[in-house]
A and B are shown apart, each in its own frame.
Chain A
Amino acid sequence: MPENTTIDDNTLANLLPIYYKRLFPIYNMCKWLGYSEVQRENFHRREFSFTLKDDIYLRYQTFNDYNEFEKELLKRCPYKIDIGGIYNQIPKDSKNWTHGVLAVEERELVFDIDMTDYDDVRYCCSGSGICNNCWPLMQFALRIIDRALEDDFGFEHRLWVYSGRRGIHCWVGDETARKLTSQARNAIAEYLTVVRGGENTAKKVNLNYNMHPSLRRAAKIVSKGFEDYACNKQNFLGDDAKLSKFLTLLPQECRDEFGDKMRVGKTSSDRWKIFQNHYQKFTSKKVKLSQNLVDEIMFQYCYPRLDIEVTKGLNHLLKSPFCIHPKTGRVCVPIDVDKLESFDPLNVPVIDEICAQLERCDMINLDKKIKDYKKTDMKSYVEVFEKFIQRLEKTWKGNNLKQSDLKGMEGDF
C-alpha cells in the first residue's frame, strides 16, 4: 500500500505565498466564477471563504474584481479556499441586508463523493486513506455521474476535480444548472442515488424489476470493471469474514446454500463465478431472489455514493480547485475525463515538488514569456481547466453578442 504523503505546517506556510503568486491560476478562476470577462457583474457577489492558519475561518468574503482577489489571496495565503454561490447582494455588508432578502441567486450544481462513505465495501484502506486498489470506486462514480449529467440532463460544462485527499468533486457550470432551485438539485441527486440505508441495513440496493435506462447504463459501466476491481484489487470474497459479509446481501434462507457452494472456489474470482452460476439455476419455493440481484450486488459495492446535502444546498461551500490539501500538500487538480484511466491520485503535483521545479527553472533561465505553471507538473492540469473555461466562454460571448445586438437595435430607433 503506497504511503499517503503528508506535509508539515511550516513547509506549507513557507510555500503558499510562492504558490499563490506564481502557480495558482487566479485569472482563470475569476473568469470562471464571474461567468463573464473579468467584470464586476457576477464575480463581486460571489462568496468565498478562507481558512487561515490555526483554523481561523473567514466566511462571506467577496472581492470586487480580479485585482482585489489577488491582493487578498497574497495577503492572507489561506490554507484552504472554499467557494460559495453568487448572492443577490454583497453578503459581506451584513449591516445593509434588508431582512430575509439575502439569497443565493446562482450556484454551480456540485457533487461531492468521498471515499469514507465506502468504508463498508473496501478492504484496502479506511477513513481518509486511499490507494490504487480503491481508487476505481471514484472512477466508477465519475463515469456514471458524468454520463448521466450529459446524456440525461444535457449539461455540457462539467469540471471534475480531485479533492487532494480522498474524494472527487464535480462542478457543473451550465447556466441552467447554476439557476436550479434547491428542489431541482435534490431531485437530480436523488435520481443519481441507489445505495440507501445506514449501518443497520445490510442490503442497501433494491432495484425495480424494470431497471431505469440510466441504471442500465450504470450497470454496464460497473460490470466492465467489476471483476478487476472487486476480485483482483479488493479480493472481496477472499476470506470467511468477507464472504459472510457478502452473504448478508442474500435472504437469510439461502445464505448457507450459497455459502457452501462458493467456499469451494479458491479465489474471489472463482467464488463470484460460482455465485452467478448458482444464482441462474437457483429455484426454491421458500425464497424468491430479486431479478436484478447481480446488478444490485455490484451496485452495492460500486455505485456512486453522493453526499446529497452538498448537492442540494444552495449555500453549501465546496473546496476550490487548485487549493492545496493542507494535510497531504497535494494540489486539488482537475481530472481529464478522457484520460481517467491514467489519472493517479497518488501522483498528482505536490506543493513542495512543484515549487522546487519552479526554482530549478528560475536557476537555469529566466524566460519571462513562459507562464510559470508551464514549467511545472501543473501544466497538464491547468490545461484541463482552461479547456473547461474556453468552452464556457463561448456561451457568455454568445450572450454578450446577443445583448449588444439588442442595444444596437435600440439605438437605431
Chain B
Amino acid sequence: MIIGGGRKQESVSRNIKREVVSPLLMYNSPPDGRLEFDEFASVAIERFSILQMFETIGARYMKGGNDYLSKLDTELRKLGFLKTILCSSKDTPIDEAELNKDIVSHFILRLAFCQTEELKRWFIQQECDLFRYKLNRIQNDQAIIEKFLQDNDLLYVPITDSEKDGIMDSLIEMGGSPNVIKNTHYFKINFLEVLDLVKTRRVLVKKGFAYVTIADFGSVLTHVFRTRLSKSLATLSRHIKEIEEDQRISDLLKILRERDIGENYSDTTARDHLTAESLDSHSIKSFPMCMRNLHEALKSNHHLRHYGRLQYLLFLKGIGLPLEESLKFWRNEFSKGSISVDKFEKEYAYNIRHSYGKEGKRTSYTPYSCLKIITSHMPGNNDYHGCPFKHFEREFLKQKLKQYGRSQDETNQIMDHADSNNYQIACQRYFEFAHKTEEIVPINHPNQYFEQSMRLINGNNRPGRQNPNQSIKMEHIKIEMTQ
C-alpha cells in the first residue's frame, strides 16, 4: 500500500484492489494501490471509533443477543458503515467502495495496534466482535459462507457415515432426529476451535474433538479469524520500526494509540478552580479508583513515591487545581509526615511548579491517560500508582470495591471485566454503578472520568468530553499532521 502525499489524487474507492467480493473479510493481504494521506487518516479514525463502539456496546449488552445486535445496527446505520450488510435485500450489489474502506482501515489499524500486548488484545477482541457481527448478519447466505471457506483454504471434510454411526446415540440425545442427522454433514474439529459452543454445551465433545454442523460454523470461523489475526499482528510488530520512519504515519499511529484523541487535559485555564480542601470530598465522589487510591495513600502515609506523585499531581492539575493550591496541598500532607516544610520547598516544590510549566523548560506536562497508566511502570512495593483494575491483587480489589460501596453483584460484574483484562471497561462499569447512571461513559482518561462525574453530579449538561465516538475531531488530527 502506497500512501501518497501532496495533491489529492483519486479516492480510496477507485484505487485500491480488494481481495474477494464478499463482505465477509479475512484480510489476508494488504490492498495494493495508492492512497491519499488525508483519506488514510480519516478511514483509520472512522474504524477506530467503530471499534470503540463495539467495545462499549459489548460491555453493556450480552454479545450476540438481540439487544446487542439491534443496538449495533442502529449505530452502524448512523455512521454509514457496512451499508451492504445491513441492507436486508440479498440482491443488493456489493458496494466496492465500502469494501475497500473496510480493508484499508483494517490494515492501518493493524499498524497502530501491533506494538504492545495490551493494544493487540484490545484490537483483536474488537475486530473479532465486528467479524462475528458481520457473520451474524449474513449467516443465512450459504453461498457467502462457502465462498469464504474456499477463499481461505478452510477445507473441512465431513465425517464418514460409519464415524457418524459411532456417535449417533449421543447426537440423538442432544435432540436431533435420526433422519435429520443422517442427512446432515458433521465435521470433526478440535474443541478449542469452538470454545463458545463447548462452554454452553451446545456441541458434542468426545476425546477432545467437537462434532459441528455447517450451522455451527460461526464459531469456527471466528476462531480462525482470531488466530490468523493474532499471528499477523505478531509478525507485523517486528517490522513496525520501518513503517514508523514515515513521520506522518508515526504521528497518526501515536494518536490512535493514545486513545484519548480530542483533548489532552494539559490546559487547565478553562476549568473550574478547585481548592485543596475540596479534594477529600471530590476524591470520594468523583475520582476514579486509581486516583482515590493515591489520595488515600497520601493521606495516610503523608508521602507518595515518584510515579505515584507524578500520576496524582498531573491529574490534580488536569482537573483544575491551581498551582498555589497544589503546593499548599502537598506541603500540608508531606509536613504531617517526616518531611519538613524546608525540605519540601527544596526537593518537591520545584517539581510541582515544573509540572505546571512554571519552571525549567516551561513545557506543560500532560496528565496520564488510562492507557499510559495501565501499560507503563508496574508498581512495586510501597507504590500506589497504576490502575487498580489491572494492578491490584484480585482479592484486594474486591475488598476495595466493597469498601467503596459496591454491592456483591456490582463487584462481580466489575471483576468479570477486570479478569478478562478489560480494565477500562471495569472502570466504566464502576463509574456507572457509582453514579447510578444508565448512560454509557467509556473511560479513556482519569480526567475524563472526573469531568463526566462532575457533569452528572452537578446535573448540568455542559459538554465535557462526550462519548469519544463523536468527539474524535478530524481537525485535531490534521493539525497534528501538518505541524
Contact = CB atoms under 8 A, between A and B. Distances in A.
A9 interface: no
Contacts of B196: 187
A213 B175 contact: no
Given A100-B116, A209-B175, A214 B207 contact: no
B459 interface: no
B362 interface: no
A212 B197 CA distance: 12
B132 to A, nearest CB: 14
B198 A210 contact: no
Contacts of A214: 201, 205
Contacts of A184: 192, 195
Interface stretch (B13-21, B22-30, B255-263, B373-381): B373-381
B198 A188 contact: yes
Given A99-B378, A187-B198, A187-B199, A153 B205 contact: yes
A213 B198 contact: no
Contact-residue size bin, chain A (C-beta under 8 Å from the other chain) = 20 to 34
Nearest to B378: A99
A176 interface: yes
Contacts of B117: 100-101, 103
A393 B399 CA distance: 43
A208 B116 CA distance: 43
Contacts of B6: none
Contact of A186 (B170, B199, B204, B209): B199
Contact of B380 (A94, A190, A211, A312): A94
A372 to B, nearest CB: 38
Contacts of A213: 170, 173-174, 204
A100 B375 contact: yes
A312 B419 contact: yes
Interface residues of B, number: 29
B93 interface: no
A312 B376 CA distance: 26
A154 interface: yes
B385 to A, nearest CB: 14
Nearest to B421: A182
Contacts of A216: 173
B201 A212 contact: yes
A198 B407 CA distance: 14
B372 to A, nearest CB: 12
A67 to B, nearest CB: 30
Nearest to A177: B208
A152 B205 contact: yes
A105 B100 CA distance: 38
B191 interface: yes
Interface in A256-288: none
Contacts of B208: 152-155, 176
B170 A154 contact: no
Interface string A83-108: 00000000000100101110100000
B199 A99 contact: no
Contact of B207 (A101, A151, A188): A151
A173 B419 CA distance: 24
Interface in B414-455: 419
B118 interface: yes
Interface in B204-245: 204-209
Interface in B163-208: 170, 173-175, 191-192, 195-196, 198-201, 204-208
Given A184-B195, A187-B199, A212 B380 contact: no
A41 to B, nearest CB: 24
A365 interface: no
B394 to A, nearest CB: 8
Interface in A180-234: 180, 183-184, 186-188, 190-191, 198, 208-216
A322 B246 CA distance: 59
B195 A187 contact: yes
Contact of A99 (B175, B191, B376, B419): B376
A35 to B, nearest CB: 19
A172 to B, nearest CB: 12
Nearest to B117: A100
A184 B197 CA distance: 11
A212 B378 CA distance: 45
Contacts of A211: 173
Most chain B CB within 10 A, of A187, A208, A215, is at A187
Contacts of B118: 100
B126 to A, nearest CB: 16
28 contacts: A94-B380, A97-B378, A99-B377, A100-B116, A100-B117, A100-B118, A152-B205, A152-B206, A153-B191, A154-B207, A176-B208, A183-B195, A184-B192, A187-B195, A187-B198, A188-B198, A191-B199, A191-B205, A198-B408, A210-B174, A211-B173, A212-B173, A212-B174, A213-B174, A213-B204, A214-B201, A309-B419, A313-B419
Given A210-B173, A309-B419, A312-B419, 6 more contacts: A99-B376, A99-B377, A100-B116, A187-B198, A191-B205, A213-B204
Interface of A: 94, 97, 99-101, 103, 151-155, 176, 180, 183-184, 186-188, 190-191, 198, 208-216, 309, 312-313
Interface of B: 116-118, 170, 173-175, 191-192, 195-196, 198-201, 204-209, 375-378, 380, 394, 408, 419
Lowest 4 A-B CB distances belong to which pairs? Answer: A210-B175, A154-B208, A154-B207, A187-B199
